[in-house]
Structure 1
Amino acid sequence: MFVGHYAAAFALKGKEKGTSLGMLFIATQFVDILFFPFVLAGIENLNFVKGFTSVNNFNMDYYPFTHGLLGSVIWAALFYLLYLFVFAKDKTNKKRIAFIMALAVLSHWFTDLIVHTPDLPIISGEPKFGFGLWNNKFLTFASEAVLLILGLFYYLKRTKAISNFGKYAALIFVLFLLVVNYLNLYVLPANDDIKALTFSALLSYFLVALIAHFVDKKRV
């Protein structure tokens, strides 16, 4: 899953105004931001098997540190502590902000559960879970689109534009994300070069987070 993860970022920003939408975009993708460098370092495994699913060639047989449920909980706890004692330490609602950021990190495992083949472990090894929507390209695209739009609607309901651009910026941004996801699923060729894939993935994660930050500045 790619853009569907950002549904949680929009929804959680709508729930807690003290958070940063840009940082929530980072948090919801944090385990993937770690995953690709971990693969390059040989800590976790990503094998490319042509036609492994309808969506991609990813056979991820070992990645407990980033995509195990226990690993996700640990990374979420790290975010909680960082926000409680560093990033939000001077805010009166620092505990709530820290909790929201932790939820954003943890949300990744549960949204991945929808699309992944059964490869998501609780700790490491069996049992592994995944509902397998990656085996159907249309259902993958549709599920991500529905999640993202629902998250956007909640965000728009809970925030207010402070400029004319702010009325439409978030909607335009989400349409952009959906177009990117369509191109990724239906147009662009598969990228089975792990170095190139790591670079493009990290660039996209940080770029959309930066855009989200500026979009959010147009609403209160």
Structure 2
Amino acid sequence: MFVGHYAAAFALKGKEPSVSLGMLFIGVQLVDIFFFPFALYGIESLHFEDSHNQVNNFVMEFPYTHGLLASIVWSLAFILLYLIWPSKKKKTSRIALFLGLSVVSHWFVDLLVHTPDLPLVHGDPKYGFGLWQNKHMAFSAELSLLVVCWCYYFFKSQAKSKSRQFFMVLFLLFLIAVNTLNFYVLPASENLEELTINALAAYFILALLAGAFDLKRKEKKPATT
């Protein structure tokens, strides 16, 4: 799962307008942000196996990032970082909670598509509903999640200007295009260093774009009669 994780970011932002969409974009990908460097340095394992599934050739052992318990620990760390980070903006426990939920959401969204490789703690049992075994079903599920949650966010809030509103629509189309390329066009890479660099660049660039396009977006007030 790649852009499908951003569905959770949009849903959480729609529910809590005061939380940063850019930070939610980091939160939903936080465990992957650590997984690729961990795999590169041998802390966790990623190797490649042809025909492992229809979407990618990754065979992964990743209890320290993708175990459910580990996800909760990373979530608490993200909350703590938010609380201690110097900022002039008012910090609330509700925003901290939503940032924490963004991190934990990764495990549950991955559950839909992964073959059974997601542990609770370490080793068996491992879970995954296996949509990656069917490329078209996995793509449709990811696209549906993204569009539904983006619509929830989009219609629960309003931009400062029409141009910002337009750019947020373009951003959705861009995410869909990126996922289409990822599924159907770009060749599979088996260079772990290259994968790590590309993944980290994508996560941070998309978070910066999300934060910029969402800037000063406000909760939509109910129409009065």
Instruction: Report the TM-score when normalising by structure 2.
Output: 0.93
- Write the letter of the residue equivalent to 1:176: F
Give the aligned partner of residue 15 of structure 2. Answer: 15
Give the aligned partner of residue 99 of structure 1. Answer: 97
Counterpart contact for 2:159–2:214, Cα < 8 Å: no
**Aligned with 1:146 (options 132, 144, 147):** 144
Q: Distance in 2 between matches of 1:125 and 1:135?
A: 22
Q: Distance in 1 between matches of 2:199 and 2:121?
A: 25
SS in 2 for 1:3: coil
- 169-178 or 130-139, larger mean C-alpha shift: 169-178
**Aligned with 2:109 (options 111, 120, 135):** 111
Counterpart contact for 1:170–1:215, Cα < 8 Å: yes
Give the aligned partner of residue 200 of structure 1. Answer: 198
SS in 1 for 2:4: helix
Q: Distance in 2 between matches of 1:87 and 1:14?
A: 25
Give the aligned partner of residue 78 of structure 2. Answer: 79
Deviation at 1:83, TM superposition (A): 2.0
- Write the letter of the residue equivalent to 1:169: F
Give the aligned partner of residue 209 of structure 1. Answer: 207
Deviation at 1:8, TM superposition (A): 0.7
Aligned-CA RMSD value:
1.4
Alignment coverage as a number of residue pairs = 218
Counterpart contact for 1:152–1:170, Cα < 8 Å: no
Which consecutive unaligned segments of at least 5 residues does structure 2 have? Answer: 219-225
% identical aligned pairs: 54
Q: Distance in 2 between matches of 1:68 and 1:128?
A: 9
Give the aligned partner of residue 64 of structure 2. Answer: 65
Q: Distance in 2 between matches of 1:218 and 1:86?
A: 21
Deviations 1:50-106 (A, max 9, x none): 11110000011x210000000000000111222233367962x61000000000000
Which consecutive unaligned segments of at least 5 residues does structure 1 have? Answer: none
Give the aligned partner of residue 42 of structure 2. Answer: 42
Counterpart contact for 1:88–1:98, Cα < 8 Å: no
SS in 1 for 2:158: coil
Deviation at 1:219, TM superposition (A): 2.3
Deviation at 1:164, TM superposition (A): 1.4
Instruction: Report the TM-score when normalising by structure 1.
Output: 0.95
